[in-house]
Structure 1
Amino acid sequence: MDHFNRLVSEQMVTMEKLLYFQAELERCQEIEEELRGLQNETKLESIQIDINQMKKELKEIQLIFEKQTEEVINSYREMNLTPIL
């Protein structure tokens, strides 16, 4: 049970990161649209670089979250298959 709880706790931390990066990405994309409207190319390029970096980090966190989900499921299954003494 401790192993399962640890896995779930780790997954919750990853979920918080995932939500943070999604919110930041949305915020940067809004700024990107504003800059396009202002046609400020220098700042637009800078925010586009930030957006691309955040997309990469978000993808990495999503992969970690998926792996953790598999581990949680496997741990839960093992817990239910192991006879309790």
Structure 2
Amino acid sequence: MLGKFEQLVTSQMRTMDKLLFLQSEIERCQKIEQELIGLQEKSKKLRSISKEILEMKKELKQVQERFQEQTNEVIRSYHEKKMVM
């Protein structure tokens, strides 16, 4: 009779060990999942910021080109004015 009791307790202890292991693994995986979700959100923000930077660089190039055109116009106008005098 004592043998059967020891077997039941041993079996129950193994089940308890497995239960505790699985609970800790689930918690570990959930933490990793939350970290990955956070990284995914950061990645989305990074893509958005990168896109914004790219758009601003394009706009900057256009403004620089326009500024150069205006500079050239000012120089031509100055030369034309100087020739008339």
User: TM-score, normalization: structure 1?
Assistant: 0.51
Question: Percent identity among equivalent residues?
Answer: 4
Bigger Rg over Cα: 2
**CA-atom RMSD in angstroms:** 1.7
**Structure 1 residue aligned with 2:38:** 67
**Structure 2 residue aligned with 1:12:** none
Higher helix share: 2
Aligned-partner Cα distance in 2 for 1:51–1:62? 16
Offset, 1:61: 0.6
Aligned-partner Cα distance in 2 for 1:64–1:81? 26
Larger RCO: Structure 1 or Structure 2 (Cα < 8 Å, ≥ 6 residues apart)? Answer: 1
Structure 1: 4+ residue segments shifted above 6 A: none
User: TM-score, normalization: structure 2?
Assistant: 0.51
Aligned-partner Cα distance in 1 for 2:21–2:45? 36
How many pairs does the alignment contain? 47
Q: Which runs of 5+ in 2 are unaligned?
A: 1-9, 62-85
